[in-house]
Structure 1
């Protein structure tokens, strides 16, 4: 039995309730816990994220080098275009959407509080033809 179990990724932000709403919409998540300074959610696939109030939080500047990534989330998706539309509708913004096509195609975004994340095309599980 492991002494330590994986917990939850926590993002600092000024408005945890608003940021939780963004990720609830993106991950088809439900709120599992909330206090005055923290909101935790669980995605449909079980991933857990929390958002902690920090009145002095400043978003990362990625892709600019100063105050760069701090933290970075990757999400696997089947349809980059459809998921991008959802991200934008929920209040996120594209940061880096140009990249080489291929099995590992990915696009960079920022959530409404400025945290960076990547949507990465899920590898195909279909057998090769030929």
Structure 2
């Protein structure tokens, strides 16, 4: 091993707005002082409770992916485990997410964040919970 993941960076038109969107979903601290980077109008960060850092970078001509259109590929997406998929759906939509795919009754749904990045909410069962 010769490298360590520092953060995941998402391009977007409004870094501060997208940082606040993900903070409302995941918790954490927006733009916490960190010697690794400078926070400004073009760069915002979210330090998550588990230590992961999401960063948001302004791109003037941001063109969001159009999942599942291969002409505008998603390039990557984030999966978030949730205990109650219905409640998480309501909360994500209230924050400004849009549904891209309702999962067809499965244990996951696909959304776009306010900048158009796809993400999934995936129902997570406790390991010792009976299935059914």
Class of the TM-score when normalised by the shorter of the 2 chains: 0.7 to 0.9
Change (3 A) 1:35 1:124: same
SS across alignment from 1:11: strand
- Where in structure 2 are the equivalents of 1:90-105 lying within 5 Å? 90-101=95-106, 105=107
Quickly say closer, same or farther: Cα 1:124–1:114, change in 2 above 3 A. same
Cα distance, 1:13–1:81 mapped onto 2, change above 3 Å? same
In the alignment, is residue 87 of structure 1 matched against residue 92 of structure 2?
Answer: yes
CA distance in 2, matches of 1:66, 1:78: 34
Give the equivalent residue in structure 2 for 1:15.
14
What is the aligned partner in structure 2 of residue 37 from structure 1? Answer: 42
Which runs of no fewer than 5 residues in structure 2 stay unpaired?
A: 34-38
Please provide the CA RMSD for this pair: 1.7
TM-score by length of 1: 0.87
Q: Tell me the alpha carbon deviations over residues 26-59 of structure 1, each in whole angstroms, 9 at most, x when there is no partner.
A: 1012112522310011122332100001111110
Distance 1:91 1:128 in 2: 34
Report the more deviating stretch, 88-97 or 36-45: 36-45
1:114 corresponding residue in structure 2? 116
Number of aligned positions between the proteins: 125
Moved runs in structure 1, 4+ residues, more than 3 A? none
Contact 2:16 2:41 in 1 (8 A): no
Cα separation, 1, equivalents of 2:130 and 2:78? 30
| Greater mean deviation of Cα atoms: 54-63 or 30-39 | 30-39
Shift of the alpha carbon at 1:124?
2.8
Helix, strand or coil at the partner of 1:99: helix
